[in-house]
Amino acid sequence: MYDAATTALIAALPHPVLLVDMAGGVVKANPPATELFGARIAGAQIRAHLRQPEVAGMLDRVLGGVPEGSASFVSSSGSRETVWHVIARHVGDGTVVLSLGDVSDIEAAEAQRRDFVANVSHELRSPLTVLSGFIETLQGPAGDDPGARAEFLGIMADQAERMTGLVSDLLSLSRVESAEKIRPRTPVSIDMVLKATLAALRPQIEAAQLSISYQVPDDIADVPGDYDQLVQVFHNLIENALKYGFSGGRIEVAAQQMPAMPGFEGAVLRVSVRDFGEGIDPVHIPRLTERFYRVDKARSRDSGGTGLGLAIVKHILSRHRGRLVIRSAQGEGTIFDAVLPCGPPQN
């Protein structure tokens, strides 16, 4: 059973595999198993290495005669945790084969999905609670008071708008995600995208009394892109600068063509949206593009934000084979750079 062919066979498998006798002694371990448990695993007692209760219980049952079993455990090396799924099976001849699979990515995706559902439900529940509360109030005596009725209907309309905004953000996120592999090819003028975006945001810009500096060269190259999605990108970046960086009094929108940039083949456009507001604490920066991530939840929610904007931006840029770079200094403001390849699409 433990001949050269068996050794060669388990050595060829990419994941950790161990052969164990009925007393739990490790007879053979392939290189990934040695890497996981250490060089002295061969000849050792498997129970000494797999002591987590769920796995230990499963091993006892299988070594006690149950033909097969499976269990999971977590190993950590440094700061990285790996979730392993172990399958133990009798192969006859008094040998049990233990095969380990790294299921960390599956577990992480599952956790992300659960978080996502929890977040969506939470975000929808608050406006719904407000709506039901006011419906009840209006069904009571307050319904006969025209002043109160007008005020409550105004609040209800705001909440309904919030929910509509959330649902449309969710839909656009899922549309962008499902089309992410297909790179858009139509030549798009960034100058037109930025001008259309600024025109749409004109009322907010005026209300915030901000001055805008606009620096886009006339002869700037087109990018292969999706016009509407690029408008969405800069709408969110400029709107964020307005909502969170207005204290600086001005915003700069600039685009520049660069012959090369690390990580890109060929020329790129760097489109920057810069504000001179409070800036963002560096601890938050890597997480800003996560769905529903907001630095100051209450404040962002008051301004109607759901924290999906930058997640959508990131996906749209990645569909364009581009990248988002965030630089910020507290008290000085923030620069969001959207980097877009401008050569003809190859992939």
Ligand X SMILES: Nc1ncnc2c1ncn2[C@@H]1O[C@H](COP(=O)(O)OP(=O)(O)OP(=O)(O)O)[C@@H](O)[C@H]1O
> Cα(78)–Cα(93) distance, rounded to whole angstroms?
39
DSSP assignment of 84-148: EEEEEEE-STTEEEEEEEE-HHHHHHHHHHHHHHHHHHHHHHHHHHHHHHHHHHHHTGGGG-HHH
Backbone angles phi, psi at 139, to 5 degrees: -75, -20
Instruction: Using CB under 6 A, pick the residue from 334, 338, 341, 342 that binds ligand X.
Output: 334
139-198: contacts with ligand X (CB under 6 A): 169
Burial string for 53-64 (b: 16+ CB within 10 Å, else e) reads eebeebbeebbe
252-311: contacts with Mg ion (CB under 5 A): 309
In this complex, which beta carbon is closest to Mg ion, that of residue 71 or of residue 313?
313
Binding flag, residue 333, Mg ion (CB under 5 A):
no
Name the minimum Å distance from CB 288 to ligand X.
5
Q: What does 277 interact with, of ligand X, Mg ion, none (CB < 5 to 8 A by kind)? A: ligand X
The residue range among 24-32, 115-123, 133-141, 235-243 that interacts with Mg ion, by the rule CB under 5 A, is 235-243
- Which letter does DSSP use for residue 25 in this model? B
> Cα(156)–Cα(163) distance, rounded to whole angstroms?
11
CA 11 to chain centre: 36
In this complex, which beta carbon is closest to Mg ion, that of residue 30 or of residue 236?
236
> Cα(87)–Cα(24) distance, rounded to whole angstroms?
15
Q: What does 16 interact with, of Mg ion, ligand X, none (CB < 5 to 8 A by kind)? A: none
Binding flag, residue 235, ligand X (CB under 6 A):
no
Binding flag, residue 229, ligand X (CB under 6 A):
no
Residue nearest to ligand X (CB): 309
In this complex, which beta carbon is closest to ligand X, that of residue 310 or of residue 316?
310
Binding flag, residue 240, Mg ion (CB under 5 A):
yes
Copy the structure tokens of residue 1. Answer: 């059973």
Q: Taking each helix axis from N to C terminus, what angle separates 309-319 and 227-245, rounded to the nearest 10 degrees? A: 150
Cβ atoms < 10 Å from Cβ of 122:
10
Binding flag, residue 272, ligand X (CB under 6 A):
no
In this complex, which beta carbon is closest to ligand X, that of residue 275 or of residue 337?
275
DSSP assignment of 277-318: SS---TTTGGGTTSTT--SSHHHHHHTT--S-HHHHHHHHHH
Binding flag, residue 127, ligand X (CB under 6 A):
no
Residue nearest to Mg ion (CB): 309
Name the minimum Å distance from CB 47 to Mg ion.
53
92-121: contacts with ligand X (CB under 6 A): none
Residues lying near ligand X in the complex (CB under 6 A) are found at 169, 236, 240-241, 244-245, 275, 277, 280, 288, 293-296, 300, 305-310, 334
